[in-house]
A and B are shown apart, each in its own frame.
Chain A
Amino acid sequence: MTKELAQLVAGHPLLAGLPGDAVATVAGCARNMAFSPGALLLAEGDPADTLYLVRRGRVAIEVHSPGRGQIVIETVGPGAVVGWSWLVPPYRWHFDARAIDPVGAIAVDGACLRQKAEADPALGYALMKRVAAILLERLQMTRVRVLDLYGDDGAR
């Protein structure tokens, strides 16, 4: 692991403020990756083995629908986290994630991270609190979108 990679990991909002040794542990499972526009970061149905910390560019979370093609469910950008299914069995992706722009991301090996979190419950708990906060924010945003805010009932 390079010092540079550890710095990149430490600078991502998911991990910002974590103690240096915790960052080093996460960085030990990480590698730096680049995706061209259109490339898949992850594909529905494949084994879920990676947590992506997006550093630059936008990523579309998509699902394929027969007759409608690719439907974008959400767009995320720099500072976002892509890929949660490595957290819980059966460790399988539910959606596609595709680079819209040239994307730079830190790819953290999910199995490696789970193993380290099991071995160091304090680190595991610190990580889980951060992961839970992001998941909660995503859940809240999804709930509001389900309301159809701008529809006929929402008026203006």
Chain B
Amino acid sequence: MPADQGVAVPTGLRRGKDRGTRALTPVPYRVVSRRRETDDVTTLSLAPVAGVAMAFRPGQFNMLTAFGVGEAAISISSAPSSSGPLEHTVRDVGTVTHSLCAARVGDLVGVRGPFGTDWGLAEVDDQVDTLHTLGGTTHAHLRGDVVVVAGGIGLAPLRGAVYELLARRSHDGGGVVVCVGARDPSQIVFRDDLEEWTRAGAEVSVTVDVSAPGWTGHVGLVTSVLGDAHFDPSRTTALVCGPEIMMRFTARALTDRGMDPGRIRVSLERNMQCGVAWCGHCQLGPFLLCRDGPVLPYAGIVAHLLTEPER
């Protein structure tokens, strides 16, 4: 299939903007604050130089321009319902991300987007299970559980989703389980948020692959804390983001616990350039991930593609 012909959009995961020249022009945003998450991860808070900040859905990404250096795809890490500035959390791995991490308060950053599919939270909320029906009348509904599994900086695109889920579920029921894996304790991002989510009722587990002096938390692969998490696999949706090997192992652990693969969502990344389904750089099998992804259900071809090397 030609790269730009597209495929059926997976149920519930709404596609990003269609191609259009406006989406190709970076809009200037100003860095209003910056927060160091770890030694190589920085969260930038951005406000538009003119007009209002963009509307977006959790899981979507922007192309951020470090002027004079280049562009990189970066997920939006704030929540759409937040009244604060737009946040992006960047790990310094190369030329563009290094410049972005070095941006100071007052500097300008170009923003194009939002692009791509989101975590489909609207559909998660539609998955309401009927508890019992008596005399033809439905008496109670309970939302299913949501399990969020993140590895490393993969928590960035999930951060906004967790805030949205906790806000909606505080009165509607359904558990929110958050399992976070990091290489070592110094690499754990969003520590304050993790505490806030626990206070708000989420079951939060953090594990590291390699311990350090003073660390009293869990040591082991993220799938090991997932095994102890409390959720009902028959009525759970899982949102997973991290290195692809970690997502594969997590998806297998979830299906082993009885979850339907179609209710496991993964965020797939390939190198992006245009972000608007023109250039074909982000093609993975039948998908252009800037448009059909990054969030896709871990079912059928996606499970297979998760093992595909980048071309």
Q: Measuring CB to CB, which residues of chain A are less than 8 angstroms from any residue of chain B?
A: 58, 60, 68-69, 71-79, 100, 141, 144-145, 147-152, 154-156
Contact = CB atoms under 8 A, between A and B. Distances in A.
A71 B185 CA distance: 13
Nearest to B153: A156
B215 A72 contact: yes
B223 to A, nearest CB: 7
Given A77-B228, A141-B224, A150 B151 contact: yes
Contacts of B220: 74-76, 141, 145
Nearest to B215: A72
B223 A141 contact: yes
B245 A156 contact: no
A65 to B, nearest CB: 11
Given A73-B211, A144-B221, A147-B245, A100 B183 contact: no
Contact of A155 (B207, B215, B243, B249): B243
A73 B243 CA distance: 22
Given A144-B245, A148-B183, A156 B152 contact: yes
A78 B241 CA distance: 27
Contacts of A147: 245
B213 interface: yes
The winner among B181, B209, B215, B249 for most chain A CB atoms within 10 A is B209
Decide if the interface of chain A is mainly helix, strand, loop or mixed.
loop
Contact of A156 (B210, B221, B242): B242
Contacts of B8: none
A154 B211 contact: no
Nearest to A69: B213
Nearest to B241: A156
B246 interface: yes
B152 A74 contact: no
Interface string B198-231: 0000000001011101011111110110001000
Interface string B166-198: 000000000000000111000100000000000
A77 B242 CA distance: 24
The winner among B181, B221, B223, B241 for most chain A CB atoms within 10 A is B221
B183 A151 contact: yes
Given A76-B220, A149-B151, A149-B243, 14 more contacts: A72-B211, A74-B224, A75-B220, A100-B216, A144-B221, A144-B245, A144-B246, A148-B209, A149-B209, A150-B183, A150-B242, A150-B243, A152-B93, A156-B243
